[in-house]
Amino acid sequence: MTEARGTEEEKGKLRWWQLSLLGVASTIGTGYFLGSGIGIRMAGPSILIAFILAAAGTYTVFEVLARMTADRPEQGSFRSYAKRAFGRWAGFGSGWVYWCSELLIMGSQLTALSLFSRFWFPGMPMWIFAIGYAVLGLAVIFLGNRVFDSMENVLSVIKIAAILMFLIIAGAALMGWIPGGGGKPPAFPHTADTFFPAGYLGLWSGFIFAFYAFGGIEVMGMMAVRLREPKDAPKAGTVMLVVLSIVYLLSIGLTLTLISYKAVDPKRSPFITALGNYHLPFIPHVFNGVLIVAGFSTMVASLYAVTTMLVTLAKDKDAPRLFARKAWGKRPLYAIGLTAAGMAASVVLSFVMPGRIYEYITTAAGLLLLYNWFFILVTAGRLLKFSVFGQIKRWTGMALIVLAVIGSLFHSTSRPGFWGSLIFITVIGIVTLIMQFAVWKRRKIAGRRHGKPLVLRPKRTT
């Protein structure tokens, strides 16, 4: 009964537009402001096609997730739906794959935040910035949903304002109203050779990073349980994705008009690079501050997601029950503690491993996220009824995700991340098999012997 009341207290507080803002806060971050530069370097201007396809694929995932949420809101979101559709193994595997993906994403985000901060303090070790941002993020999560919601709403507005600022300044530069440009007149690459400088294989390789820029929509699914009207979840997601798609295409299109794709440095935001040739001494500093705000916002959203996921796993006995316990004002301290430990390991990994670690971690994190998105679409096929057009959309989304995953094999930057993601999947798969045959099955048999059948599914509460 206590858990039921706690869940009810979290429901019914968000309006659909607030969920849209939280979705913007969860999505626009380092994957867009920094990770898009990796895709641009791989594909050149043709990355715009990848963003259009990624937006379509992302929409198919969120649409089915929103429908499942509207039909039956669950705190564990897609993990709970996977468990209902296929059994305990699916919920266990899906939850832990997502937990690992978000930890890698947080490591990627902290690396990016440290890179942004060195724009002002080039001599400062990156690990100092990473620790500072991690502690601040954990503090926000510790303060609870109310502080989290308020902060994310404010930061989402700041991010939208910053992108609008970039669009206005870039538009003014394009019109010649701002001096500079390095002597090269702005021109959008409109021929086949300039639009596809790396060929179609380059476009295919960069596809994963276009998808990564939309990472965060699954966090909206987890927050949708707190809507006043769960049936508004599809509307909130549709508005958010339409706005994001337009903004992404305009901003990247303007960037590639102002500078050559070869000028983009994967370790520096392409938007700051685009403005660097113009006489705007203060704008790069303002925009860098916004990049830090954006990265911190998505990092906190990831912290919220992994903590919530760990609590729901613990409640279903798919993680030690310790992590479902609350203390100090009903805060899941143990879950927050494990998340902090995992984040610390991710940070250490990102700074100890040499070479292009940001690109590798970003690729692995994006792939693990896509594996979960693919399984969301598979789960929807079991739980929802689709029209013929609905089935076409669902299969199209699955095909786009598979294409993005395969494309990561064709470039030296993304290939190590692909193999890294397979290592995570293999380990989680082995653990799931052990739990299935050595733990859950044994408990079920023992329960039958004692005349007490084991209930694997969570009890419904009223």
**pLDDT tens for residues 399-410?**
999 999 999 998
- What is the average per-residue pLDDT within 123-151? 78
- What is the average per-residue pLDDT within 422-451? 78
Is there a contact between 397 and 57 (Cβ–Cβ < 8 Å)? yes
**pLDDT tens for residues 16-74?**
777 777 777 667 777 787 778 888 988 999 999 999 999 999 989 988 888 888 778 77
CA distance linking residue 23 with residue 153, whole number of Å: 9
- What is the average per-residue pLDDT within 205-226? 80
- Average pLDDT over the chain, rounded to whole? 80
**pLDDT tens for residues 2-26?**
333 344 344 457 777 777 777 776 6
Tokens of 433: 């098999």
pLDDT at 77 over 90: no
User: CA dihedral defined by 330, 334, 338, 341, rounded to 10 degrees?
Assistant: 100
**pLDDT tens for residues 152-181?**
667 777 777 777 888 888 888 888 777 766
pLDDT at 371 over 50: yes
Residues 6+ apart with CB under 8 A from 145: 10, 226
Rounded to the nearest angstrom, the gap between the alpha carbon of residue 27 and the centroid of all alpha carbons in its chain is: 6
307 CB-side CA count, 13 A: 29
User: Domains in the chain, ordered, with CATH?
Assistant: 4-450 (1.20.1740.10)
Say what the pLDDT of residue 392 is. Answer: 94
Residue 227's DSSP bridge partners are 14
Say what the pLDDT of residue 5 is. Answer: 35
3 state DSSP class of 351: helix
Class of residue 220 by CB neighbours under 10 A (exposed 0-12, middle 13-18, buried 19+): buried
Is there a contact between 235 and 18 (Cβ–Cβ < 8 Å)? no
- What is the average per-residue pLDDT within 136-143? 80
Residues 6+ apart with CB under 8 A from 225: 7, 10, 11, 69, 73, 74, 75, 77
Is there a contact between 366 and 414 (Cβ–Cβ < 8 Å)? no
Percentage, residues of the chain above pLDDT 90: 15
Say what the pLDDT of residue 319 is. Answer: 82
Residue 327's DSSP bridge partners are 331
Is there a contact between 98 and 372 (Cβ–Cβ < 8 Å)? yes
**pLDDT confidence bin for 398, thresholds 50/70/90:** very high
Tokens of 33: 């402001």
Is there a contact between 379 and 372 (Cβ–Cβ < 8 Å)? no
CA distance linking residue 181 with residue 158, whole number of Å: 27
Say what the pLDDT of residue 444 is. Answer: 66
**pLDDT confidence bin for 427, thresholds 50/70/90:** very high
DSSP 125: -
CA distance linking residue 129 with residue 368, whole number of Å: 26
pLDDT at 461 over 60: no
Say what the pLDDT of residue 403 is. Answer: 95
3 state DSSP class of 140: helix
143 CB-side CA count, 13 A: 13
Ranges 95-104, 348-357, 440-449: which has the least confidence: 348-357
State the Cα angle at 213 between 227 and 421, rounded to 5°.
Answer: 100
3 state DSSP class of 227: strand
**pLDDT confidence bin for 458, thresholds 50/70/90:** very low
pTM above 0.85, yes or no: no
CA distance linking residue 232 with residue 235, whole number of Å: 5
pLDDT at 452 over 60: no
**pLDDT tens for residues 218-260?**
777 667 777 777 777 777 878 888 888 888 899 899 888 888 8
Say what the pLDDT of residue 79 is. Answer: 86
CA distance linking residue 69 with residue 233, whole number of Å: 7
- What is the average per-residue pLDDT within 194-207? 90
Residue 385 φ/ψ region, left for φ over 0, alpha for ψ in the -120 to 50 degree band, beta for the rest:
beta
Residue 361's H or E segment, with its range, is: helix 357-383
- What is the average per-residue pLDDT within 264-275? 81
Is there a contact between 152 and 296 (Cβ–Cβ < 8 Å)? no
43 CB-side CA count, 13 A: 27
- What is the average per-residue pLDDT within 287-299? 81
CA distance linking residue 258 with residue 274, whole number of Å: 6
CA distance linking residue 453 with residue 122, whole number of Å: 62
